[in-house]
Amino acid sequence: FNSLKEEQILGIVRVQLKTVADRLKNKKINLEFTEPAMAHLAKIGYDPIYGARPLKRVIQTEVLNPLAKEMISGKYKSGDHVKVDYKKNNLVFT
């Protein structure tokens, strides 16, 4: 098998994140990812041996779990726009 190229990995990340964003649209929450955030997820979600298989787990731990905690705490609710960015070695939700 050939290793995936960076642009291919980013394409997979975009597809996975669109699925996440579409699920949140059902809750009337608009989720937007910046290019640096997507690049970070692509970097940590790709393994030369396993390819993009770890990506779903990375999205779960880096995006979905923190976002769910914020939603449970009431920080984000129906009608909100959430932007996910990458700053200072962390994903930042605003």
Q: In the chain, what are the domain boundaries?
A: 6-88
Quick one: pLDDT at residue 1?
Answer: 61
Instruction: Give percent of the chain above pLDDT 90.
Output: 82
pTM for this structure?
A: 0.89
Quick one: pLDDT at residue 57?
Answer: 95
Q: Looking at domain 6-88, does it have CATH number 1.10.8.60?
A: yes
pLDDT > 90? residue 30:
yes
- SS3 (DSSP) at 80: coil
Q: Which of left, alpha, beta for 82 (phi over 0: left; psi -120 to 50: alpha)?
A: beta
What is the tens place of the pLDDT at every residue in 45-78? 998 888 888 999 999 999 999 999 999 999 999 9
